[in-house]
Amino acid sequence: MTAILETTGLTKTFGAVTAANALDVRIEAGSVVGLIGGNGAGKTTFINLVTGYLKPTSGTVHFDGLDITGQPPRLITRLGLCRSFQIPQVFDSLTACENLLVGLGIVSMRRKAFIGSALGRQSPEAVAEEMLQRFRLGPYRDELASTLPEGVRKLLDIAMALAVKPRILLLDEPTSGVSSDEKFALMDLVLEAIRAEGVTVLFVEHDMDVVRRYVHRILAFYEGRIIADGAPAEVMAHPEVRRYVVGEPPVGGEGAC
């Protein structure tokens, strides 16, 4: 399969701490990949490196064959690699609809022929209305973002990222702060919308039930390195993953190898 995102030897150090240790990652177009690991394992550092929020100490990042190593986030976003955040990045003083329009307007000012290339023949207003309906945000259309429940704010943040027609969407803990009763409904809605656009997805998640249910592949991080990479069942049974990520003894007991 064609790789849409690829890192080679990607490394980030902060003094004596190595937050990302020579990461070689290849992400195929159209896949849904989960990034797991404990706090400080390097998951968000990896996301920040590929989206330009951090510059690597060494190594490279290629997006669709183009070297984007160390490029600023604005440029990387314009190329089609977008993200949402663990804490939703929305404008609290604006309504849900206005948030979408602001996001679309900012991108339109920065991307030549934006209306033609990214939105087709749709106006930003039409795209905003479409995203409101797709994410079932219609009832909140004219509500201020500051008044929205956390799960709805998450949906709005992701809708804003998807509205600009990315090729890859990186989600940082999409179910964080969402009640256990709502997490699967939220992920069903998000993944349905993303798949309809044919967008590749990487998401950081601590909830193993969510990871098992939605991903094609798992990358497991520990102390800045990848300790397992593969199909969910294979990775979740890996001894280091069970010990350092899941917090369970390896299959077969402590002596398993």
pLDDT tens-digit map of 127-183:
899 899 999 999 999 999 999 998 899 899 999 888 888 999 999 888 887 888 888
Mean pLDDT of all residues in 64-86: 91
DSSP secondary structure code for residue 148 in this structure: S
pLDDT tens-digit map of 49-61:
999 999 999 999 9
More confident residue, 182 or 99: 99
DSSP secondary structure code for residue 244 in this structure: I
- Per-residue pLDDT at 127: 86
CB 70 within 8 A of CB 52: yes
Domain boundaries, the chain: 3-246
CB 71 within 8 A of CB 26: no
The Cα 52–Cα 137 span in angstroms is 30
CATH top-level class of 3-246? alpha beta
pLDDT tens-digit map of 228-246:
999 999 999 999 999 999 8
